[in-house]
Chains A and B, each alone.
Chain A
Amino acid sequence: MKVTVKLFASLSRGRFAVGVFEGEATLTVRDILASLKIPEEEASIIFINGRHEDADAALGDGDTLAVFPPVGGG
């Protein structure tokens, strides 16, 4: 299965902004974070297809995962 991964703000530094992951059908957000060496506390906002999820969430084929460090504004 294929998943699009987007990293934002400081998380993209030294990594990438948009990438594609292929893997097992049982891939979770945690697996992807681990393979990218992103500590879980830095992945403070996680979206799958625009909905908030946490690191336990499983990914499905064609999903878009977006990960943000803690950010704020207003």
Chain B
Amino acid sequence: MQEKRRYHSVRLDKDRCKGCTNCLTHCPTAAIRVRGGRAHILDNLCIDCGECIRICEYHAKVAFTDVMANIKAYKYAIVLPAPSLYGQFRDMARPEYVLEALKRVGFDEVFEVARGADIVTRAIREKLREPNQPRPLISSACPTVVRLIQVRFPELIDHIVDIRQPMEVAASVARAEFCKKHHCSPSDVGCFFVTPCPAKMTAIRTPIGQKKSELDGAISMMELYGQLLPHINEMLNDPDFVPATGYGVAWATSNGEANAVCPDNSLSVDGISNVIRVLEEVENDKLSDLIYLEGNACIGGCVGGPLTFENSYVAKNTIRKMVRHMSPEHPDTAVPSSMLNKYPTKNDLPIEPNTAEKLDDNIVEAMRKMKQMNEIIQRLPGYDCGSCGSPTCAAFAEDIVRGYCTEMDCVHLLREKLKVMAEEMVELAQSRRE
């Protein structure tokens, strides 16, 4: 079952972990176990949602991202801020202030991911016009949701729109435009995303639907926030700068994408447990009257990402106000169609299901294991207390069947067993005396 290790941005800091089991039940894919006094993340189930980062009081769950020094590895560095970055600064009126600050902290060029979102909006709208699309088509923008579908809803993979994420499209355009302008080779240029979440970092290192990411790394929004603050005072002044539309910037918040792509018949869902509920309904064929489904793992959309600084409700409000004063032009007309032909917007690989939840490759063997699991569950108390280190009694039974632990790891079963043994000892002692 353990194939080659998958890259994950979310990791455990062993020294800080107290083995408290707090994170266990908050993981949407039941990917955490506490064994030997500390947490472990099951590599093949983790979808990098970052819920465990939010919940851990000891800050033992961390997101690995690039540090600023990594941009020095390239002759030129382009920074691509997610639009959620604009929401981090209270009362921020225009993206250009943030873009200028990004240049001042050391980047040679800035390119808005919101512009990528504009291009992607157009690409998806063209896709929606093609006949025989599955209903609803599901957004590919949140990598956590895509990985969730791979693990828990593999039957819905065909529903995921095969258009790249805005950051990928933005990086293709940014690199090409920069190289043309400065007569340099693409390999001289590093493209760095400013990320609100570990999931995007993972998506850069191990892309889904693409052989290789167009980005070279990602820097955490949280880390960059403090560095940008002192520089937020002037607007970007670049005659060649092409701003994103308000539609593109609104992708930072839940419903922004749905509103740009398919305002008439779409649904936007935020928060990972809500997304799971809605995907269940799609699987039950209860939402086939919908054309488009936008799912964001984080509450409020990317402004609620685990690596953001500002309260997500405040950030959402900042974005809303900002968008009101931006160009109301829709990407349909703002993005020239030549853009779509010139730059790759489509996936070049199919999205594969993740089979980590399968009990066995052989169905008969899998059934034997499931039967055994059910028998074990009957013996367990059903408290879902987590003291065995598995998130629920059912997950514990599954872990036993998979050979990761034994029944005596359950304190309740152990206590019962000890009680029986103690009684037997008393009986034995008495029978000897007689």
Pairing of A with B: no
- Show the binding face of A for B, using Cβ within 8 Å: none
